[in-house]
Structures are given as C-alpha cells and as structure tokens.
Structure 1
C-alpha cells in the first residue's frame, strides 16, 4: 500500500480558490475557476479530464511552471504564489521531479549522462552525480544500460531513463504528464507499475495527468476536471496493485 495519509496531518500541497486567466476583456479565457485541492504526502493521484478542462494548467501551477492569477498555492505550508522566478526554480530543483509524454532525452548523450543532468545544474560533484545516476537507473530496472544512447533504447526504456532523471534528486513529488502517451499497452503498464513502486516503496507523492482510465486505475485517488473546475474528487475503491505479468524491463527491447 502507499503511505497512509495521517489523520490531521497538514497537506503537502494546497490550492485555495485558485484561478488562472489568459488574455483580458473579450479575449479572456478562464482556464481554472476557484480550485480547492489538497494533496498529502505519499498519495498517488490521477488528474483527469477532457482537452481544455484545465488539468494541464493545474499541473503547471502545481509544478511551479506557472503561477495563479488569483488564489493561494501552499507547498509545505509556504505560499508559492509570491515567490520570484529564481525561488520557484529552487523549489523545483529541491522538491519536484517531472516526467512528460515526450521523453525529452538528449539524443547523443548516454542514459547515465541524461540522468546526471539535474545534478549538474545543482552543482554536485562528478563523483556524486555518477553514483546517484547509477542508483536511479538501477531503481528503474536499467542497471547495465548506463552507456546506451536513446537511439539504442526502446520507448519504454527511454521513459524509464526519463523517470530515473526525475527521481535522481530524491524529490518529494513526481509530476507525470501523460507519461504513457507515447507507449504501447504493455509498456504503458510497465511504466505504471514502476510509478506505483516508487510511490509504495519510496513514499514519493505521484501526481499524474492522464486521459486513459486504465492508467488512472493505478492511482489511489482521482480528480476530474471539467471546464476549469474540479467536478469530482474521490478515492479509487479498487486500485491496480501491480503491472500485468510480462510488463518488465527485461522484456522491453
């Protein structure tokens, strides 16, 4: 099971009456409308909704890639909305990891070097970067693949490298935006099993945007957006607890 939410514990993340507007006057678009949302440490949450529902805007705000037009965003009890660009960048580097639908790997760079990048930006030593990247790749089932370039890896393996890069800094929160969107069914379940394991075994809070119900089924909680509002927020009564047999790194070639 994922880490239980402690009764009475303060949320790791809180959105209060968050709105996001683009444009003004006749061209104004309300992407988010008075959103209230609490996320506790150790949760695995699927954020769902049709195109244009506001789910990606919400994810960008949660990931400190964008700021609310109004309302409050608190991370570990600290207001995020008044932070400067540099302060938000430091928060991202310290607490957040990102996985996207596109793997966003450097094409001519080895898996090891791709995973080391966040640590390079953070100023870690070469030895510390190498050791941490090796551990992260092993954690996602890619021990022995450190020197392979993306062209030598399958789609599922490339996404594993991207996840290793996201967790190499030991983030509190992993934000995954359509992480299986470019994968076939078997590789999608493989990646979901990996995310589930990171949540269960390392206690990483996982926030995942997806439009695929069978991928959302791995989450313990589902938040559905419609027209910039949260339409439903409910516990998944029967979460998937393991990837199907055969969805393993060893078969991903």
Structure 2
C-alpha cells in the first residue's frame, strides 16, 4: 500500500504548565490518503481545531510524530515549516479574511506576492483561479460588493492559486445560508475530484460532512472513530 500523504502518530498538545496545564490532544493517530476529502467533527474543545493548526503548520505538537509527504514535520524549524506551508497548503476560513480595500483579483494574488512572482504571472494565475470558482466577471470588485458566497469563493481562489497539495478549510460554510453553503461544498468537491486536491475540513454540520469521503470524529483530545462514506 502507498504511504499516506499525512500521518499523525501519538500527537499530543499541552497548553500551559503545572496545575493549569490543559491537554488539548492526548495521543492522536490519523492517516490521510492523497486525494481524500476528510471532514473533521467533534464538540467544542474536542481537539479538532488544535489538530488542524498542527496539520497547517500553524502550531507544533508537544510530542508525537507528524509526517507530510515523507518529511518529519515536527523536526523542522519555523522557517522550514513556513516554506512547507507556502508550497503545499491552502487555507479557507469561516470569516473569509479578505482585504477590504483591494479587489478580488488582488486578494487572490496575495500568496503569489509572498512567493516573489512577477506582476504579470500573479495576474494570470489569479485570473485562472477566479475562473475555477466562477468569478472572473467579479475580478475587479471589492469584497463589500460581493455576496457572502462570492467572498468565500474568492477566499477559495486565493487558497488554490498556488496549486496546493492540501486545502485546509475551517468551517468554510459557517457564515453562509443553506443555498450558498451547498454551492461552496459543490466547489470543494469539484476541486477534490477534478484537481486532485486533498481536502481537510472542520465542520459542525452533518449536512456538510456528508460531502466528504471520510469523517473523523474527535472526542476529548482523541480520534474517537473514523467513518468511510464511500
């Protein structure tokens, strides 16, 4: 069998020290296959967001082993983790996190600016990403001229403009109504199936989790169970 794209083994995370210490993760074991669509679910405080932060190289585990594409991530320094994040990961958040005074196109260009790409290449790649999410006609509109669903599409375009291996989505439909939520889930499913992007999504909503192939349920800092949906 092929090695998983991501492997977490015995991952722990403790915040604070002494009597006030809080064990957010108590030994998480999880494999994610390349090309999977994973929904991560659990009550508040169950450890799912802490796990996502570690997977996104935004935080480091207290102990345990995190392997990404054969690389021992827990052994990397801050700069190396930042490089991994820029090259392989895309992020979508509940709150969109778009820059208010810039156009949709400029928002999507931002990760490429950090990479040092030329202006012409940034624009070409950003327009291609906007085309994938159906928003080329809105490229020069500011976020306040877009609906919530359109803003989240811009955020997804920004996340995929670097052609990431993994898209990490934290409650991507949390601020949207039912119709817009289904549109976003259809888009994530298409990116997973057509572009081969591995999707890891935190959600509280069973209707949204139903779009995933695999559901990972967290409880009290551990993976309680894993359900394969087909």
Match of 2:155 in 1: 162
Match of 2:60 in 1: 67
User: What's the Cα RMSD here?
Assistant: 0.6
TM-fit CA distance, 1:44:
0.1
Match of 1:208 in 2: 201
Match of 2:113 in 1: 120
Q: Secondary structure at the match of 1:120?
A: helix
Instruction: Supply the distance in 2 between the matched residues of 1:68 and 1:101 (Cα, whole angstroms).
Output: 24
Instruction: Supply the distance in 1 between the matched residues of 2:180 and 2:215 (Cα, whole angstroms).
Output: 22
Instruction: Supply the distance in 2 between the matched residues of 1:157 and 1:136 (Cα, whole angstroms).
Output: 13
Higher helix share: 2
Match of 2:170 among 161, 171, 177: 177
Instruction: Supply the distance in 2 between the matched residues of 1:161 and 1:40 (Cα, whole angstroms).
Output: 27
**1:29 lines up with 2:13 in the alignment:** no
TM-fit CA distance, 1:177:
0.2
- Higher mean C-alpha displacement, 77-86 vs 110-119: 77-86
Match of 1:136 in 2: 129
Match of 1:104 in 2: 97
Aligned ranges 1:12-27 → 2 under 5 Å: 12-27=5-20
Match of 2:211 among 211, 218, 226: 218
- TM-score (ref. length: structure 2): 0.99
Instruction: Supply the distance in 2 between the matched residues of 1:189 and 1:203 (Cα, whole angstroms).
Output: 20
Q: Where does the alignment leave 5 or more consecutive residues of structure 2 unmatched?
A: none
Instruction: Supply the distance in 2 between the matched residues of 1:53 and 1:34 (Cα, whole angstroms).
Output: 12
Instruction: Supply the distance in 2 between the matched residues of 1:174 and 1:104 (Cα, whole angstroms).
Output: 16
Task: Name the count of aligned residue pairs.
Answer: 230
Instruction: Supply the distance in 1 between the matched residues of 2:106 and 2:82 (Cα, whole angstroms).
Output: 21
TM-fit CA distance, 1:24:
1.3
Match of 1:94 in 2: 87
Match of 1:246 in 2: none
| 1:59-95 Cα deviation digits (max 9, x unpaired) | 0000000000000100011100121111101000000
Q: Secondary structure at the match of 1:108?
A: coil
Instruction: Supply the distance in 2 between the matched residues of 1:236 and 1:52 (Cα, whole angstroms).
Output: 25
**1:78 lines up with 2:71 in the alignment:** yes
| 1:125-147 Cα deviation digits (max 9, x unpaired) | 00100000000000001121110
Q: Secondary structure at the match of 1:81?
A: helix
TM-fit CA distance, 1:190:
0.5
Runs of 4+ in 1 over 4 A off after TM superposition: none
Q: Secondary structure at the match of 1:144?
A: helix
Q: Where does the alignment leave 5 or more consecutive residues of structure 1 unmatched?
A: 1-7, 238-253
- TM-score (ref. length: structure 1): 0.90
